[in-house]
Amino acid sequence: MASVPTGSGYRRQLYRDDAVVLRVQKLGESDRIITLLTRRHGRLRAVARGVRRTMSRFGARLEPFGHVDLQLAGSPEGVGSSLHSVSQVEAVALYGKQFLTDYPRYTAASAIAETAERLTPVEREPSLRLFQLTLGALKALAAGEHAGGLVLDAYLLRAMATAGWAPAVAECAVCGTPGRHAAFSVPAGGAVCPDCRPPGSAHPAPATLLLMSALTDGDWMIADAAEQPVRRECSGLVAAHLQWHMERALRSLPLVDRRENP
Ligand SMILES: [Zn+2]
């Protein structure tokens, strides 16, 4: 690992990682602050300097939703400035370009990126599983083999599982009795059996809970075959479950355009 001296007295190390670009913010005239979900160093923010001047080879690679290979400067352990800087960037796959002309997919990608950021409240805390899920979801959105809304809901369900609060689907959320239960209660934690069902539980169509379970398990044969009303009901329950567990509502989720192409 190389290190370069800085004026502030400690040595900034150069290190490499690959990452998904979650967010890009302007910093002054020509710099950007890039929020990255990296494979090995968790979520971190880095300054990209002079992206406007060098737009063709540098800035264009640091657009939201891209998978990039980076060289970063800063202490990977988090000592010193919390803001790292990007010193090199190579594109692995720039998915963002493919969403620019496709509003439903763009809004789904935005909800994925916001969820990834919200599920990593602490910088530089590695979460390989969440990185893999986030990259996989953007790749699947770009490939277009499945409806964007289904890709998003599958991502939300699995991302919630990494945080430890995925809804119960194959057992009662309260007593753990296995089986497919008809009632669903967000405060109780998912599907609930007749004995545990709290007042005000929803009674979704059986196909809706089947879809939720298929999305959790990656059973795309079942998921792709689900009818629109079933998809809508499933999205509503997934969103309600997500919002219940998050301190603040996701800004991007209500904006997701679920008109489907495939
Ligand atoms: Zn029960």
The CA-CA-CA angle for residues 58, 60, 61, to 5°, reads 70
Per-residue pLDDT for the chain (262 aa), expressed as one digit of tens each?
A: 444 554 444 567 899 999 999 999 998 888 899 999 999 999 999 999 887 765 556 778 899 999 999 999 987 776 555 688 998 999 999 999 989 889 999 999 999 999 999 999 998 999 999 999 999 999 999 999 999 999 999 999 999 999 999 999 999 999 999 999 999 999 999 999 999 999 999 999 999 999 999 999 999 999 999 999 999 999 999 999 999 988 787 888 888 888 764 4
pLDDT confidence of residue 57: 65
pLDDT confidence of residue 60: 81
How many whole angstroms from 253 Cα to the centroid of ligand 1? 30
Spatial separation of the C-alpha atoms in residues 72 and 216, rounded to whole Å = 35
Spatial separation of the C-alpha atoms in residues 202 and 213, rounded to whole Å = 17
How many whole angstroms from 67 Cα to the centroid of ligand 1? 43
Residue 162 CA, chain-centre distance (Å), reads 11
How many whole angstroms from 192 Cα to the centroid of ligand 1? 5
How many whole angstroms from 241 Cα to the centroid of ligand 1? 18
DSSP string, the chain: --EEE-TTSSEEEEEEEEEEEEEEEEETTTEEEEEEEETTTEEEEEEETTTTTTTTTTGGGSSTTEEEEEEEES-TT--S-S-EEEEEEEEEEETHHHHTT-HHHHHHHHHHHHHHHHT--STT---HHHHHHHHHHHHHHHHTSS-HHHHHHHHHHHHHHHHT-PPB-SB-TTT--BS--SEEETTTTEEE-TTT--TT-B---HHHHHHHHHHHHT-HHHHHH--HHHHHHHHHHHHHHHHHHSSS--SSGGG-------
CA distances from 183 to 204, 233, 245, 256 (A): 7, 13, 19, 26
How many whole angstroms from 120 Cα to the centroid of ligand 1? 31
How many whole angstroms from 190 Cα to the centroid of ligand 1? 11
> Are 234 and 211 spatial neighbours (Cβ–Cβ below 8 Å)?
yes
How many whole angstroms from 244 Cα to the centroid of ligand 1? 20
How many whole angstroms from 178 Cα to the centroid of ligand 1? 9
Amino acid occupying residue 229 = P
Burial class (CB in 10 A: 0-12, 13-18, 19+), 234: buried
How many whole angstroms from 235 Cα to the centroid of ligand 1? 24
pLDDT confidence of residue 9: 47
Please list all protein residues whose beta carbon sits less than 5 angstroms from ligand 1, which is an ion: 172, 174-175, 193, 196
How many whole angstroms from 161 Cα to the centroid of ligand 1? 20
